Amino acid sequence: MLRFIKQNLENIDGVAIYPIISLLIFFIFFTALFWWVFTAKKKHIEEVSNIPLENDLNHQEL
């Protein structure tokens, strides 16, 4: 099965660019995510982390 796919991909011109594009998208996404995590305000992180608790308390009151 893999040989069949490999033979078809070898016939496509410029197919070598797709793994490079995929790697760049992966690298840019996780670099941006890493940057956001370290620059996020602690107050915002605390508010977001308390959302499940607040939602659970609202359901208990009903």
Q: What ranges do the domains of the chain cover?
A: 2-61
Output the pLDDT for position 26.
97
pTM: 0.56
Report pLDDT for 1: 66
C-alpha distances out from residue 31 to 22, 34, 42, 50, Å: 14, 5, 20, 26
Q: Which structure tokens are listed for 35?
A: 């940057």
Q: Which pLDDT does position 61 carry in this prediction?
A: 54
Helix (H) or strand (E) holding 43: helix 42-49
Model confidence pLDDT, tens digit, residues 2-57: 777 777 777 888 888 988 999 999 999 999 999 988 898 888 888 888 887 765 55
Predicted pLDDT of residue 31: 97
Please enumerate in sequence order all residues whose Cβ is within 8 A of that of 9, keeping only pairs 6 or more positions apart, or say none.
15
Quick one: pLDDT at residue 32?
A: 97
- Terminal alpha carbon distance of the chain: 56
